[in-house]
Chains A and B, each alone.
Chain A
Amino acid sequence: EAQVTQNPRYLITVTGKKLTVTCSQNMNHEYMSWYRQDPGLGLRQIYYSMNVEVTDKGDVPEGYKVSRKEKRNFPLILESPSPNQTSLYFCASSLGAGVGDTQYFGPGTRLTVL
């Protein structure tokens, strides 16, 4: 089954404790991205990747890192999480980076930073 998976689905952590949220897709998609969803703000893009070893900042990259060592995986790293990073995070992938390439979303990771 074609899908985007994220782990963990739920995470509660404390300020400053490094964490990684994994994202994997099995559709051989080139384009992957991370969004965060906050009430009243919709989804905002954090980082995206056009292909292996090619990543770039989205609209709200501060406090986050990503890597793309393999095509299927695109982990989101919070080196020193802070309470304002409490949010619902979505990973998405699409075949290419062209306008109109449909993005498929993972189920989301709800992160709480105390």
Chain B
Amino acid sequence: GEDVEQSLFLSVREGDSSVINCTYTDSSSTYLYWYKQEPGAGLQLLTYIFSNMDMKQDQRLTVLLNKKDKHLSLRIADTQTGDSAIYFCAESPLSGGNKLTFGTGTQLKVEL
């Protein structure tokens, strides 16, 4: 079945860039998503990318997709303490309708 993997933790200093990585196995993935989960809250959609794109930029967020290597990354520029959260990568396969397969989540800690 589909599998989505992420590293569990990332620690950065305030003001630096953060890069969160994700790999997936389903070659039929059509949309790939990044969700943010703050403590005690639900998941908030940050951004998404369609599989025929290589890059998408949205203010401080840059998503890079390497479809050949099945690798997705989220870069957060000028990381702030408010960016501390768990970040989930998710993919939506062509055949799965709207079903999302999530990665394990990456806990981002921003230090002063």
Whether the pair B102, A31 counts as a contact (CB closer than 8 A) is: no
Within the complex, which residue of B4, B31, B44 is in contact with A99, where a contact is CB–CB below 8 Å?
Answer: B31
Question: What B residues does A2 contact at CB under 8 A?
Answer: none
Residues of chain A having any CB pair with chain B under 8 Å: 4, 31, 33, 35, 40-45, 48, 50, 58, 90, 92, 94, 96-108
Whether the pair B98, A94 counts as a contact (CB closer than 8 A) is: yes
Question: What A residues does B97 contact at CB under 8 A?
Answer: 50, 97-99
Question: What A residues does B30 contact at CB under 8 A?
Answer: 99-100
Whether the pair B41, A99 counts as a contact (CB closer than 8 A) is: no
A33–B99 CA distance with the chains assembled, in angstroms: 9
Whether the pair B104, A40 counts as a contact (CB closer than 8 A) is: yes
Whether the pair B94, A99 counts as a contact (CB closer than 8 A) is: yes
Known: A97-B98, A98-B97. 11 other contacts (CB 8 A): A4-B42, A31-B98, A33-B98, A33-B99, A35-B102, A90-B43, A96-B98, A98-B98, A100-B48, A103-B98, A105-B35
Question: What A residues does B94 contact at CB under 8 A?
Answer: 99
Q: How far is the CB of A3 from chain B (nearest CB, A)?
A: 10
Whether the pair B43, A105 counts as a contact (CB closer than 8 A) is: yes
Q: How far is the CB of A100 from chain B (nearest CB, A)?
A: 5
Given contacts A40-B104, A105-B43, contact A100 B92 (CB under 8 A): yes
Over the window 20-45 of chain B, the binary record of Cβ atoms lying under 8 Å from chain A Cβ atoms (1 yes, 0 no) is: 00000000001100010000111111
Q: Which residue of A lies closest to B5 (CB)?
A: A42
A103–B92 CA distance with the chains assembled, in angstroms: 11
Question: What A residues does B92 contact at CB under 8 A?
Answer: 99-100
A4–B41 CA distance with the chains assembled, in angstroms: 12
